[in-house]
Each structure stands twice: as C-alpha cells, then as structure tokens.
Amino acid sequence: MRALLPQAGERHCVDAHRLVDTPLEPTQITTPHSPWRMSIAPMMDWTDRHCRYLHRLLSRHVLLYTEMVNAGAIIHGGTERHLRFNAEEHPVALQLGGNDPATLARSAHLGAQWGYDEINLNCGCPSDRVQRGAFGASLMKEPQHVADCIKAMVDAVQVPVTVKHRIGIDRDESYGFVRDFIGTVHAAGCSVFIVHARNAWLQGLSPKENREVPPLRYDVVHQLKRDFPDLTIAINGGLNTDVAVQEQLAHLDGVMVGREAYHNPWWLTGWDALYYGGAPNPLTRDEVEAAMVEYMEREAAAYGTHWYAIARHMLGLRHGLPGARRWRQVWSDHHLKDCPPREVMALAHAAQVEVQERREAASH
Ligand SMILES: Cc1cc2nc3c(=O)[nH]c(=O)nc-3n(C[C@H](O)[C@H](O)[C@H](O)COP(=O)(O)O)c2cc1C
C-alpha cells in the first residue's frame, strides 16, 4: 500500500498556486493567468477522489475541489477516510464545512499536512442539515464570524484559504450585503472568493432547487471585481459552454464549473489548450476509459474499492456519441457487479459498436 501521509518536509502544493509558465498562444492568452482560472466545483457525493482522478486525466491544469467535508468529522470521524486522495489529483483543494474557528483551523491544518493545495470554506450550501449545523450559506449572515473562522484557518496553514459563497441570502438582493461580506472576510486574510452568482433561499427550496430557482446575476459578480480589483474573484453557476466561460473570463479571474463538467467530462479535454495555452489533451476516450480500468484495478487491490464506485463517475464520458447510452447502461448494470472491470469494458465496447454498426447499416 502506498504511503498516504506526506513525509516530513514533503509538500505537494505546487501548480495551482503559482502562475503556470507553459508557452502561451498569443491569440488566446496574453497575460499570466490565475491559478483559479478554471476549476471544477465541489459537489457532494460526486467529486470524490475517483471522480477527481478522472477529471485530472482530462485536464492537467484545472483546479479540482473535494466534496464538502465536515470539519468536525475530519478530527473525530477518521482523518484518513475523509482526506485520502491520489497524488495525481494536484492541484486539489479541500472544501470544509463548519463554523467553529478552532475546529476549522485544526482540520485545515490536517488538510494542509495531507498535501491539499488550498483550503476552502463553504459559505454557500443551503441544505437543511447544513443550516441546522449553522454553517454553509447561513454563515453569510454573520460576516464577522466568517472572518474569525478565516483568521483561525489562515493562521493554521501556509496554503491559500479561500471562500465559496452566494451573492445573497433569501430575497435580499442588495449589492451592499455581498460587498460588505467580502470586505469583512478579506480583512481577515482571504483574497480569493468563488462566487456562486445567485442567492441562497434558506426557506422552502431543496438544495437542488437552490441551484436552479434563484436567478443568476452575473453582473453582481462583475461589480465585485470592479470594487475589489486586487482580489481574485471567480464566478460559478450555470456556465456550460466555452462561449459562456470566455465571456466571464473577460471580466473575472476564473470560472468554476459544476454540473456540466460532471455530466459531460469530455468538455474538459479542450481546456488546457484553450485556457492555459498548454498542449491539447492527447488521450482518446478509449485511452481514458482504459486508464480508468487500470485505476479501478489498483484501487481494488490497495483498498478493496469496488469498480462500481469509480465507474459511476465516468458514465458521461461518451456523452453525445452514437451508442453512448448502451455503453453507459453496461457500465451501470448491477448484474455485472461481479465481473472484473476489464470484462465490463469489453462488453461496453461491444454494445456501443453494435449500435454504431446498426446505425451505419440503416443509413445505407
Ligand atoms: C450534486 C451536487 C452537490 C453539491 N455539493 C456541493 C458542496 O459540497 N459544496 C459546495 O460548495 N457546493 C456544492 N454544490 C454546488 C456546486 O458547487 C455549484 O455551486 C453549483 O452546482 C452551481 O454550479 P453549476 O451551475 O456549474 O453546476 C453541489 C452541486 C451539486 C449538483
């Protein structure tokens, strides 16, 4: 089994938090870009380490976030279970949920020790469970308390401490609310804000509805960047095409993408060239799938992980291609759970090719 904890003196925090120095395409990128230029949103139950391993195969540079991890659980409920990740995932940020400065500071310290490149505080989650714990989006109602949490975390780690938040709470759409939130939290030592560009309605909406119903107001985030030009401001919410991303990058330091990246991960393969001036991703979908199967085999041998827990994250890999549905059905067929993943891959390919051949025959 691979050594999991970083050895004394060993640090993994690299790429994301220094300016990338790959040659730039003058037509695409003219200034050094922010480490937060493109990121994949923290998504509970989705962006676990297996999902992040897949995303890293698709883009070398995109910044990855963990799911929100409860700060108390890291300390009391199994540090390794919550913090273990693959070395390949860098640059990778740990998102914490919590509201107690000391607990957040301790779990941030553990996260940095484990090698995370950034610690992010969740001030955007509206779920009832999180509200009962008085953290997530409801923290925005207490900017000074968030500032105290940030100060404790900043004092505990060397890596950047960042905040992901909404632009308002409930029906209060006043710009001053979010402007003052950022001002107060910045004064405590946070310089990077990832702004989900809609309010969180704390009453009456499910978390899913809270990602869809409150209107997106990108202009609020642009105004924040104008008012705080020295801060790093990245935007999140509803951005699902390169055109939309590029429009935002004209105003802001970065774009965070959530659902579209998960459902259509192949989109990421264009990002290194488009947003970082880097080399295009050389892998084909088949090669990515084969690399994932190798990963499944390693995970099973090292930790007893069932391939099913990994395969569920790559079901969007062939999104939009002929035969994708059949391919996906095979990879998610629970009757095949006892087959080795290499055999499942062969079955999935055969099913996809069959659909393609049928289509070709029908078109002749
Ligand atoms: C399944 C799911 C789980 C999520 N879990 C988290 C989370 O743990 N922490 C967080 O800050 N946001 C969470 N979010 C919100 C996303 O990070 C993001 O803000 C939201 O999906 C809007 O971005 P998008 O329109 O690009 O998807 C979650 C979203 C989804 C779909």
Cis status, amide bond into 126, omega within 30 of 0: no
Mean pLDDT of the chain: 91
C-alpha–C-alpha distance, residues 31 and 43, integer Å? 30
C-alpha–C-alpha distance, residues 30 and 283, integer Å? 27
Question: Poorest-confidence range of 26-40, 102-116, 245-259?
Answer: 26-40
Mean of the pLDDT values across residues 75-88?
A: 94
Ligand 1 proximity of 237 Cβ (cutoff 6 Å): yes
Contacts of residue 360, Cβ cutoff 8 Å, sequence gap at least 6: none
pLDDT at 31: 54
pLDDT at 207: 92
pLDDT band at 22 (very low <50, low <70, confident <90, very high): very low
> What is the share, in percent, of the chain residues with pLDDT greater than 90?
85
Ligand 1 proximity of 165 Cβ (cutoff 6 Å): no
Q: What is the whole-number distance in angstroms between the Cα of residue 210 and the centre of ligand 1? A: 10
Mean of the pLDDT values across residues 187-216?
A: 95
Ligand 1 proximity of 43 Cβ (cutoff 6 Å): yes
pLDDT beyond 90 at 266: yes
pLDDT beyond 50 at 40: yes
pLDDT at 281: 93
pLDDT beyond 50 at 1: no
- Note the helical H segments in the chain: 49-58, 71-76, 79-83, 101-114, 128-132, 143-156, 175-187, 218-227, 242-249, 259-263, 271-276, 285-303, 307-311, 324-331, 341-363
Which atom of ligand 1 is closest in space to residue 41's alpha carbon? 17
Among candidates 236, 283, 262, 244, which has minimal Cα distance to 60?
A: 283
Tokens of 190: 């946070």
Question: Poorest-confidence range of 4-18, 61-75, 132-146, 333-347?
Answer: 4-18
pLDDT tens digits, 143-196: 999 999 999 999 999 999 999 999 999 999 999 999 999 999 999 999 999 999
Ligand 1 proximity of 151 Cβ (cutoff 6 Å): no
Ligand 1, atom 15, lies closest to the CA of 43
> In the chain, where are the structural domains located?
19-276, 285-363
Mean of the pLDDT values across residues 62-76?
A: 96
Q: Are 69 and 300 within 8 A, CB to CB? A: no
pLDDT beyond 60 at 255: yes
Mean of the pLDDT values across residues 46-74?
A: 97
pLDDT at 77: 81
Q: What is the whole-number distance in angstroms between the Cα of residue 164 and the centre of ligand 1? A: 10
Ligand 1, atom 23, lies closest to the CA of 237
Q: What is the whole-number distance in angstroms between the Cα of residue 28 and the centre of ligand 1? A: 28
Residues known to be catalytic: 125
C-alpha–C-alpha distance, residues 95 and 322, integer Å? 37
pLDDT tens digits, 333-358: 999 999 999 999 999 999 999 998 99
Q: Are 308 and 344 within 8 A, CB to CB? A: no
If you count them, how many residues does the chain have?
364
Mean of the pLDDT values across residues 267-272?
A: 98
Mean of the pLDDT values across residues 220-240?
A: 98
pLDDT tens digits, 87-141: 999 999 999 999 999 999 999 999 999 999 999 999 999 888 887 888 899 999 9
Mean of the pLDDT values across residues 272-277?
A: 96
Pick the CATH number of 19-276 from 3.40.50.2020, 3.20.20.70, 3.50.50.60, 3.40.50.150: 3.20.20.70
pTM for the full predicted model:
0.92
pLDDT band at 33 (very low <50, low <70, confident <90, very high): confident
pLDDT at 17: 38
Ligand 1, atom 28, lies closest to the CA of 43
* Fold assignment, 285-363: Four Helix Bundle (Hemerythrin (Met), subunit A) (1.20.120)
